[in-house]
Amino acid sequence: MATVTYDHATRLYPGTDRPAVDALNLHVEDGEFLVLVGPSGCGKSTSLRMLAGLEDVNSGRILIGDRDVTDVQPKDRDIAMVFQNYALYPHMSVADNMGFALKIAGTPKADIRKRVEEAAKILDLTEYLDRKPKALSGGQRQRVAMGRAIVREPQVFLMDEPLSNLDAKLRVQTRTQIASLQRRLGVTTVYVTHDQTEALTMGDRIAVLKDGLLQQVGTPREMYDSPSNVFVAGFIGSPAMNIGSFRVADGAAQLGQTRIPLERTVLSAITDEDKGHITIGFRPESLDVVSQAHESAFPVEVNLVEELGSDAFLYGAIANAGAEAREMHSGAGDAQVIVRVDPRQVPRKGETVWVAIRPGERHAFSAATGQRIAVV
């Protein structure tokens, strides 16, 4: 097993001015499951391919353990990669697909068979070893691709959105299998996904990228409770955090008739660059339905209620805020607020409910830089 280190690793594609990956500094511990997550085009797959040796590193370096592999050929890096599209040979059996890399490397047939059977047992593929890929389901094919990586016994697993081609139910099942398998094998794993739910449920740590820049690295709980900036706050969590730009007046954040008192420490962190505004974020589960008389309560006009059985979420706009309501954003879009409500006391469409943010669950960010100020 080994650690992985990106040391100011940069990838600049020819004909572009902005790096796809810009001076990435990231350390993955031995045996750790690290998830690279971010929107399309953020540089996560490029980062993985740089580690695999499939993309050049224009500056900086990449290390596996203490070994600098920046200029080492992919076949000599002792890594195994699992792709989104399985990449199985259709004319070969499952066993031959899983053992093909070992065959090319000149491994004795008996050793190949032993390692293939061991991997098949781990992945529950033993009864399918003589089948061709076309006779397998999508989930089984993905397990074959995993088995092909396992039999190589590499220092590092690299996985590039391996669940994207699976249906929703199978994706949940397979991600659980991958996470538990990695824990059992203890192999350092770098996993790329655009799905933040996958990232939260699978990773020991998560690294969030945007426009080629690393935004934050931390455990799923750290990312959820203490996002370092507005982007991470809006990206991590499902449904997404409600985030609004508020005017600061008389010691409070104001949006229309909504008034949220601010602590002195937050007020003192506001600079001239913020131009009298502050960005406040609060998650749907951080809101309580209260009476109109409650201090800091604000009205939400219900547009839609999403009932999920154990949970219910209402989607609506802040009432009586006029044009300023457009300064509020959530996973439902602009001028929308999401509130988690009691699934057995669901308001009707068109109703107005009053909600308040629980103390200690408001996230404050600089209006100018988007960087975190505090939780208040």
**Per-residue pLDDT reduced to its tens digit, 255-277:** 877 888 888 889 999 999 999 99
| Cross-strand pairs, 329 | 243, 334
A 10 A CB-CB count for 264 gives 8
pLDDT at 375: 58
For 272, the 3-state DSSP assignment is helix
Helix axes 94-104, 138-150, angle to 10 degrees: 30
For the cut 70, the answer to whether the pLDDT of residue 1 exceeds it is no
Dist. CA 196–CA 35, nearest whole Å? 9
DSSP symbols for 187-253: -EEEEEES-HHHHHHH-SEEEEEETTEEEEEE-HHHHHH--SBHHHHHHSSSSPPEEEEEEEETTEE
Q: Which residue has the higher pLDDT, 331 or 239?
A: 239
- Following CA atoms 289, 290, 291, 294 in sequence, which dihedral angle do they give, to the nearest 10 degrees? -140
Rounded to an integer, the average pLDDT of 337-344 is 92
Condensed to tens digits (0 to 9), the pLDDT of residues 302-334 reads 999 999 888 999 999 888 777 777 788 887 777
Q: Rounded to an integer, what distance in angstroms lies between the CA atom of residue 92 and that of residue 90?
A: 6
Q: Rounded to whole angstroms, how far apart are CA atoms 76 and 52? A: 10
Q: How far apart are the first and last CA of the chain?
A: 42
Given a cut of 70, whether residue 376 has pLDDT beyond it is no
Cis previous bond, 239, omega within 30: yes
CATH superfamily assigned to domain 4-233: P-loop containing nucleotide triphosphate hydrolases (3.40.50.300)
Q: What is the H or E stretch that residue 363 is in?
A: strand 363-366
DSSP-derived pairing of the beta strands 363-366 and 277-282: antiparallel
pLDDT at site 374 = 65
Q: Who wins on pLDDT, 193 or 84?
A: 193
Superfamily (CATH) of domain 241-375: Nucleic acid-binding proteins (2.40.50.140)
Tell me what percent of the residues of the chain surpass a pLDDT of 70.
Answer: 99
Q: What is the pLDDT of residues 220-234, one digit of tens each?
A: 999 999 999 999 999
Q: Where in the chain is the domain with CATH 3.40.50.300?
A: 4-233
- In the chain, where does the domain assigned CATH 2.40.50.140 lie? 241-375
Q: What is the dihedral of CA 199, 200, 202, 205, to 10 degrees?
A: 80
Confidence class for position 278, pLDDT limits 50, 70, 90? very high
Q: Where are the alpha helices (DSSP H) in the chain?
A: 44-52, 94-104, 109-122, 138-150, 168-185, 196-202, 220-225, 230-235, 264-269
Cα distances (Å, whole numbers) of residue 315 to 305, 320, 341: 6, 16, 10
Could you read off the pLDDT of 176-186 as tens digits, one per residue? Answer: 888 888 998 89
